[in-house]
Structure 1
């Protein structure tokens, strides 16, 4: 599988039209477009975890993608506070979040940021994050909300507030099927 860290593949405004493409070239381009999967990663993790988060998601996408070509666009919310070295990395290697709507994103992964405020709506990045939630709902096939981004999405979409526990709660949990649906038809 090919995983391309892609900052510059934007859909741009119309330019001069190329000369007629041959039939083989048209088919090749159509197959490339069908074979490639474009994933956006909005990486809002703290500076110390920025590169590790990129690597982890790249490894997961590569393992899951098989022979499929994946174009990965990394973004970061501008309202997440960054050190100068992290800001330089983001400016040099990430796609501007303003370009999110111009890209044809098939799937989106959104990570959380370090919480600082008492409630999520008080966070400096709250408005940017809920704008992403709304955009993803209307424009992607699938979105993975990770860490604090999951709490923000659940609060914004479902009105369910997060509550702090005495200890971190994570892991694999028992579950039961409560209704039949074609998506879960063969799931035990």
Structure 2
């Protein structure tokens, strides 16, 4: 089934060119089925690019998904036109009375700051608490995953000596997990961060299962059955050129940065990078949405009224 997004959203034209099935608002109203309500709290600076990345991954699932774009209310975006935010986004305060089948919180380029020094940390804490009552399943990405792991379980993030940057091989720790259905035993995932969470901290009492990790860059994907939460500490949603643009930006700014690991053929940044993670990104989001669909309340108003674990 297609994804339902606003008719004028810039992502629409991009996804249509790529062959992603999109449903217009009039057609959606004729469908005799309740679409899954998925919220995206977009903390990334280039919001248009990020919303396109996530819509792309959700738009190839066989279920109807209605995407709601959400932003922090007290934070002014520097890299997205205000008109775009007004036209397509709602603040969390405007949606907090609603229930969502799924809710995604993205990464943010503020990972070197202590959580308490982030200008919108207090609002984010309220949003994280709200997900426990108004969201059936939450999906946290990169810094968003670190923030949620700290907020819910006190799992610390640690600063790296140098940036973990590139495309790294990862190991499938739990082939029987419904989230990893169809996954290879090992596979590539983009990594771009200055901090990490550590496997020992995850294993030290937190009710998390580490599904995917890398010998080079550590934990990647963890799940928490009781809270219906997924923690993705890397950027599986990235486009083919996302790492290239980060690298080119840093080189142009004179920032000391190495060539992204395992990204360019022969580590030659003059060559076109290859996307080695696209299929697994679609698998992960398809598996997540399938689990949400199978376990969420038929009446969306019943979300949060009783525990609804995704995996028995």
**Length-normalised TM-score, structure 2:** 0.45
The question of whether the paired residues in 2 share the 8 Å contact of 1:6 and 1:73 is answered with no
Q: CA deviation at 1:171?
A: 4.0
Find out whether 1:62 has 2:31 as its counterpart: no
**Length-normalised TM-score, structure 1:** 0.71
Over residues 50-86 of structure 1, what are the superposed CA-to-partner deviations in whole Å (9 max), with x where a residue is unaligned?
Answer: 11111111110011x22x2211000111233313853
User: Which residue of structure 1 aligns with residue 42 of structure 2?
Assistant: 43
- Separation in structure 1 between the aligned mates of residue 113 and residue 80 of structure 2, nearest angstrom: 28
Secondary structure of 1:130's counterpart equals helix
User: Which residue of structure 2 aligns with residue 176 of structure 1?
Assistant: 173
Q: CA deviation at 1:168?
A: 1.2
Secondary structure of 1:164's counterpart equals strand
User: Which residue of structure 1 aligns with residue 222 of structure 2?
Assistant: none
Q: What's the C-alpha RMSD, in Å, of the aligned pairs?
A: 3.0
User: Which residue of structure 1 aligns with residue 33 of structure 2?
Assistant: 32
The question of whether the paired residues in 1 share the 8 Å contact of 2:72 and 2:120 is answered with yes
> Relative contact order (C-alpha < 8 Å, sep 6+): which is higher?
1
The question of whether the paired residues in 2 share the 8 Å contact of 1:117 and 1:123 is answered with no
User: Which residue of structure 2 aligns with residue 113 of structure 1?
Assistant: 108
Q: Answer 1 or 2: which has greater strand percent.
A: 2
Q: CA deviation at 1:161?
A: 1.5
Say how many residue pairs are matched. 158
Unaligned stretches of 5+ residues in structure 2: 8-28, 186-312
Q: Answer 1 or 2: which has greater helix percent.
A: 1
Unaligned stretches of 5+ residues in structure 1: 8-27
